[in-house]
Amino acid sequence: MSRLATIDCDYVMPRLAAAFLRESKGEVAFIETNTTYAVPHLMEALHKEALDPKSVKYVIVTHVHLDHAGGASALMKLCPNATLLAHPRAARHLIDPSKLVASARQVYGVEVFDKLYGDIEPIDEKRVQQLDDGATVTLGASTLSFLHTRGHANHHFVVHDSEENVTFTGDTFGLVYPALQRAKRFAYPSTSPTDFDGEAAIASVKRVMDLKPRAVGLTHFGLFEEVTDIGAQLIRWLELSTKMVADAAKSGDEQGTIEQRFKWELDKEFEKAAVAAGLTVSDDDRQLMRFDLELNAQGLAVAAVRQRPR
């Protein structure tokens, strides 16, 4: 028996961030955890499938951004036999999250951080397994393969499930929000701070496409079978973003000025892409995308300043 379920983590709003429940021959894995506040949703999904927390073999996080891994410590407490699988550069922040938490609290402020993410505790390093590029593990009748994919974050991997022929892509394969899928498929990349690398991001998208999965499991949000179409859209966006970074790196503008210009440019490109997809953009759509547009602009501005000769 093989089961795959998409779990709405209800992060900020419904259908914005997902985790996945995967079961094969009685062995279970969670892919992504979202935040501490999402853990009850994950356990509810387990209960709905009549599965025991003791059957959870793996908790997997694609990278340590907190909308992907913030709930890992809380989930591991409830799954006593689980091993946490992570990129080698991510593992240390799960074993000792103090720097990650301190940095996020500085960015968000303590009150907002606590409201969004709750408590994040250390995970016993004996329960954490680091996975190199190309590493594999078994889950029931399936082989899970882990491919390192830079571009969004330098500690990111994707997970390919051989039995389902699905690749769980974290943020490597962009954002496909259900609310925007009213016409043609509409995909958008995530170029958030601080590790954006355009060439690496494009290579990572192509690496996922080369796996030829029947579907991709996007943390933002859900399972989609139009892998080629989504990948082509992302490559166009990433090529544009790479050019924006290169042009801005040549300017003498300060990071704040570059960021404001990028916000305007990305907003304009979003509207154009929506028209091309046959999507009539509403105020709700613009509100949904505002955070990502601003975060993407910030990430590109950081990359532009970093790219300047020193």
Q: What are the pLDDT digits (tens) for 258-310?
A: 999 999 999 999 999 999 999 999 999 999 999 999 999 999 999 999 988 76
Residue 10 in domain: yes
Residue 278 in domain: yes
Residue 176 in domain: no
Q: What share of the chain in percent tops pLDDT 90?
A: 95
pTM value is: 0.96
- If asked whether residues 160 and 255 sit together in one domain, one would say no
Supply the pLDDT for residue 309. Answer: 76
- If asked whether residues 9 and 158 sit together in one domain, one would say yes
Mean pLDDT of 148-166: 97
Residue 260 in domain: yes
- If asked whether residues 155 and 25 sit together in one domain, one would say yes
The span from the CA of 58 to the CA of 77, in Å, is: 13
- If asked whether residues 127 and 264 sit together in one domain, one would say no
Task: Pick the last residue of a domain from 146, 164, 182.
Answer: 164
pLDDT digits (tens, 9 = 90+) for 80-136: 999 999 999 999 999 999 999 998 998 889 999 999 999 999 999 999 999 999 999
- If asked whether residues 135 and 36 sit together in one domain, one would say yes
Contact 203, 294 (CB under 8 A): no
Does pLDDT of 13 surpass 90? yes
Does pLDDT of 223 surpass 80? yes
The span from the CA of 75 to the CA of 194, in Å, is: 27
Task: Pick the last residue of a domain from 120, 140, 164.
Answer: 164
Residue 223 has which token pair? Answer: 């399972």
The span from the CA of 153 to the CA of 62, in Å, is: 10
Task: Pick the last residue of a domain from 164, 183, 205.
Answer: 164
Residue 190 in domain: no
- If asked whether residues 50 and 157 sit together in one domain, one would say yes
Q: Domain with 61 in it: what CATH number? A: 3.60.15.10
Residue 225 has which token pair? Answer: 């079978």
Residue 196 in domain: no
- If asked whether residues 118 and 249 sit together in one domain, one would say no
- If asked whether residues 136 and 263 sit together in one domain, one would say no
3-state SS of the chain? CEEEEEEECCCCCCCCCEEEEEEECCEEEEECCCCHHHHHHHHHHHHHCCCCHHHEEEEECCCCCHHHHCCHHHHHHHCCCCEEEECHHHHHHHHCCHHHHHHHHHHHCHHHHHHHHCCCCCCCHHHEEECCCCCEEEECCEEEEEEECCCCCCCCEEEEECCCCEEEEECCCCECCHHHCCCCCCCECCCCCCCCCHHHHHHHHHHHHHCCCCEEEECCCEEECCHHHHHHHHHHHHHHHHHHHHHHHHCCCCHHHHHHHHHHHHHHHHHHHHHHCCCCCCHHHHHHHHHHHHHHHHHHHHHHHHHCCC
Does pLDDT of 175 surpass 90? yes
pLDDT digits (tens, 9 = 90+) for 47-84: 999 999 999 999 999 999 999 999 999 999 999 999 99
Residue 228 in domain: no
Supply the pLDDT for residue 308. Answer: 83
289: which strand partners?
Answer: none
- If asked whether residues 6 and 145 sit together in one domain, one would say yes
- If asked whether residues 137 and 246 sit together in one domain, one would say no
Whether the bond into 291 is cis, omega within 30 of 0: no
Supply the range of the domain harboring residue 253. 240-307
Residue 117 in domain: yes
Structural domains of the chain, count = 2
For residue 297, the Cα-to-chain-centroid distance in whole angstroms is 17
Give the pLDDT band (50/70/90) at residue 252: confident
- Mean per-residue pLDDT over the chain, rounded: 96
Q: How far apart are the first and last CA of the chain?
A: 57
